[in-house]
Amino acid sequence: MTTTLHRPEAVARTSGPRLADAFGEAVRKLHPRHQLRSPVMFVVWAGSLLVTAFAAIDPSVFTVAVALWLWLTVFFANLAEAVAEGRGKAQADSLRRTKADTPARKSTGEVVPGTELQVGDLVVVEAGEVIPGDGDVVEGIATVDESAITGESAPVIRESGGDRCAVTGGTTVLSDRIVVKITTRPGESFVDRMIALVEGARRQKTPNEIALTILLSTLTIIFLLAVVALQPFAIYSGGEQSVVVLTALLVCLIPTTIGALLSAIGIAGMDRLVRRNVLATSGRAVEAAGDVDALLLDKTGTITWGNRRATEFVPLAPASHEELVAAARLASLADDTPEGRSILELAGGPPATEHEKTGEFVPFTAQTRMSGIDLGDRVIRKGAASAFELTRTAREVVDGISARGGTPLVVAENGRVLGVIRLSDVVKPGMRERFAELRAMGIRTVMVTGDNPLTAKAIADEAGVDDFLAEARPEDKLALIRREQEGGRLVAMTGDGTNDAPALAQADVGVAMNTGTSAAKEAGNMVDLDSDPTKLIEIVEIGKQLLITRGALTTFSVANDLAKYFAILPAMFAAIYPALDRLNVMRLATPQSAILSAVIFNALIIVVLIPLALRGVRYRPSSASALLRRNLLVYGLGGVVTPFAGIWLIDLLVRLVPGIG
């Protein structure tokens, strides 16, 4: 599905649902089991069934027409949901084409179908072969074509020992050889989850959507009781109303418009995220993104490119440059991290000799903050400056590197500091501008890093974040998020490493980078396929757009009921109480044409609003009060005016129909 998710024009071609399929799905959704999911539309469905029965018993042009348009109201509501779901199904079909029963070559040499791989299996993948399942690279480095997942044609680097080790089943290795440790069971891969999510099969109603459904259900019950109570008064007044008229009144009074479009709005919000290469595992996260107050960003791989490389050796007297380089090389011989490999590349020199291979490698730990090698009576270590006793001169060198945004890595032999390695990381372009946009939205940005405070401050100043947390351990990130949440604020976190997983799980919106580890992607409730941390701006905009769209259409739905009162109530009772004819401000022709015009408008307005529900109301950064004024002016006033004009125009046509006009 190359480019299906990445290029908008490709999405328009391949993801747009065929209208015939949407119509067929809308008909299938007429089943009562589906209608029960929406109390409002179930009442309309039941009313349609009731009016149809009366039309069959005592047919008339008016009764048949009302029954037909009530069924069309239900059909149009189903069509809105079917069109929204159709987009996801088209994307799911494209994703399915990337799935294949890829053979997997285990590290033991056994070849098995990819569907038989279990968690923990080690598989070898070489150039030209397809990766058989989701996992982490545990050995080697390779370029990988991920266009089938991300739509981006440029290959990416995947390597062991860093935060760029996660690989996705169905992608292709272009060069070199890697060993992958499988991390998911068959049928639960990243592609499998994407298929289920974009189809809407696992879409659950969000808290706001549930609350609105309860409100709409309550209004429906109130109007149902009011209409039922209306008949005794009508009988007492000598103007008994038919069941058909009462049903038409009920359908026009309940909030049918928003009830019909509510599901489509939620599905379309998820779809807009997918079109921006973001996979959300819950609608709750999308809504929460619209109300985020603070954003925590991991520095390495998120704000910066993340591929810190050794760029300079700075010896400290009396050690020479050659002595420092030799010690740094020995300390990095067994270091399979990207930084370790870059030190070897900068140091040059021959491969490890047989004597050097006899040394005992000491891996890095969060407690010691250093790694190295024990070779005979030589104890060589490299690590964070805080792990060593530094002289004043050494401290000045370390502080100087940190102040310029570099990461100092101290090298020592037998306790004597030989010098410092400068590791350089680069801030991604456009970060300052993007953070300024977040600030304009009222979102506070905090950079979280394991670097020392001087390095962290330099990177924070360059990137333009509001605050930073230096020398952060996983528990520090978790504590910071909890402190922010204690004040009732919603927190978003982006990250890509395994050490980011606890914070991603705790955050209200956890956006994991696709280049990151499997643990990070499992912990977050969103995955950015482009691995662009500034994508959160778009995620926030989509979240706000979802909330605004739902609010705007709810306002419109409630407001347009006003015109229906002026259409139907005079038609029902003007003959009994002539004074009520003054409320017939639209001068509708007859009681039957007035009622039928209101029912027709009630159905057609759903069709008119489907594009808006799918596209969403445009979001412009502004205050909550400004958004409220805009909604009331555009959708509140518009919801009052539009039905008056619409019902009047429809009545001009309906009055021409024999038996009604």
Query: What are the φ and ψ backbone dihedral angles of 166, each rounded to 5 degrees?
Result: -75, 135
Q: Is the peptide bond before 658 cis (omega within 30 degrees of 0)?
A: no
Distance CA 504, CA 520 (A): 7
Q: Supply angle C-alpha 216, 221, 226, rounded to 5.
A: 125
| DSSP category for residue 499 | G
Other beta carbons within 10 angstroms of residue 136's beta carbon come to 18
3-state secondary structure of 79: helix
Other beta carbons within 10 angstroms of residue 130's beta carbon come to 18
Q: Which residues are annotated as a binding site?
A: 335, 339, 364-371, 382, 496, 500
Tally: H helices and E strands in the chain: 25, 21
Tokens of 289: 């993104």
Chain position carrying tokens 């102040």: 403
Q: Is 21 a catalytic residue?
A: no
| CA-to-CA separations, 85 to 79, 541, 599, in angstroms, rounded | 10, 22, 27
Q: Which residues are annotated as a binding site for Mg(2+)?
A: 496, 500
575: left (phi over 0), alpha (psi -120 to 50) or beta: alpha
Q: Is 513 in contact with 302 (CB distance < 8 Å)?
A: yes
Q: Which residues are annotated as a binding site for ATP?
A: 335, 339, 364-371, 382
Cα Rg, the chain, nearest whole Å: 32
Other beta carbons within 10 angstroms of residue 111's beta carbon come to 10
Q: Is 372 in contact with 360 (CB distance < 8 Å)?
A: no
| DSSP category for residue 359 | S
Of 163, 298, 425, 451, which is the active-site residue? 298
Q: What is the set of active-site residues?
A: 298
